[in-house]
Structure 1
Amino acid sequence: MVVHAAGLVPVRLDLAHVGTAEQQLGLTLGCVLVYLRAGITARAIADGWTDAAVAARSLRPAVAGHRPLVIGPTTVAAMVRYAGSPRVISAFEPARAGGAVPAVLRIQAGPVTWEICDATAYTSMLRAWRQAARLLGDNPTEDE
């Protein structure tokens, strides 16, 4: 699945059943709802996003004219469940055709490839992954 992100990405975090074996964090990033249960999973993804910071510096600061999306039950287009330590791979694709095809940062985490179009989107999503890692790390489950 490929998800394009530009501008400020709306984020929502919902932590349920804290500290139990049923603990689950619902992390909504724009139109994608991600379910996480363990801090190690969220930390692996947050670290992968952090590793892409050097490449993200080459992105435009913001895409002009992009309207932020709203968050709500009718705006979720995909749901993903992460477990374990997913491999996170990033690659920067420079602008082509004289700028007609803009630069993009691709970050693949498991089955999702995020195509980040500007630094604003990268920063807002990195902040969300770090917040998820912190929430789950501060509230380990009985099995961790």
Structure 2
Amino acid sequence: MPARTDRSRSVEQSSPTTQARLITSSSVVTNLTVRAAGLVPARIDLAHVGTAEQQLGLTLGSVLIYIRAGATARAVADGWSGAAVGAQSLAPAIAGRRPLLIGPTTVAAMIRFAGLPDVTWAFMPARAGRAVPAMLRIEVGPVNWEVCDATAYTSMLRAWRQAARLLAENPTEDE
């Protein structure tokens, strides 16, 4: 009897379902580009406040970002603030679709930021006879935000600042 049990375990470990789980868990997205125009809906959720498990979820449009440390959120907020010089060249607003509702069914990507991510920015002038609008490209780690107007920039900057403020007001024992 014990020999059968051992064989069935080894078969289970190499089953296609188990192999698929192993492949999925090793997948990594190395770059993500998000284009934003108009008012970007934002939502902030802070869970397990003041504990080692504390985590802030920041949803910007269809992107859900998880952050644990106030220093991480502050680095990103400061990087976005530094891009204000480039944002001055953006159009005030570009007409677009109505803002989407925010919820688990509307999230297209989930990202976890840790440490002090590099934040760089560059202003991209309009191309192809203005068919492609001028954009402010802000890179935060592997995420490239292509911001098309000042309204989108301002709404996302406000959300990053709120996230940084919330985490600064609620430090964990690690910070």
Q: TM-score under structure 1 normalisation?
A: 0.97
Alignment check: 8 A CA contact 1:6 1:66 kept: no
Runs of 4+ in 1 over 4 A off after TM superposition: none
Quick one: percent identity of the two aligned structures?
77
Report Cα offsets for 1:65-123 as digits up to 9, x if no partner: 43212111110000000000000010000112332221011000011100001100000
The aligned runs of 1:1-144 (5 Å cut-off) are 1-144=32-175
Q: What is the rounded CA distance, in whole Å, between the counterparts of 1:121 and 1:71 in structure 2?
A: 16
Instruction: Point out where structure 1 has 5 or more consecutive residues left out of the alignment.
Output: none
Higher strand fraction (1 or 2): 1
Q: Deviations over 1:24-60 (max 9, x none)?
A: 0000000000000000000000000000001001111
User: Are the aligned partners of 1:39 and 1:136 in contact in 2 as well (CA < 8 Å)?
Assistant: yes
Question: What TM-score results when the alignment is normalised by the length of structure 2?
Answer: 0.80
Distance 1:93 1:100 in 2: 13
Amino acid at match of 2:97: H
Per the alignment, in what secondary structure is the counterpart of residue 74 of structure 1? helix
Task: Report the Cα distance in structure 2 between the residues aligned to 1:65 and 1:105, rounded to whole angstroms.
Answer: 17
Higher relative contact order (CA 8 A, sep 6+): 1
Could you say what the CA RMSD is over the residues aligned between the two structures, in angstroms? 0.8
Q: Which residue of 1 aligns with 2:26?
A: none
2 CA distance for matches of 1:126 and 1:29? 10
Look at both structures and tell me which one has the larger radius of gyration over its CA atoms: 2
User: Which ranges in structure 2 are unaligned for 5 or more consecutive residues?
Assistant: 1-31
Q: Which moved more, 1:55-64 or 1:96-105?
A: 96-105
Equivalents in 1 of 2:47, 2:97: separation in Å?
Answer: 33
Aligned to 2:39, the other structure's residue is in SS state coil
Amino acid at match of 1:95: A
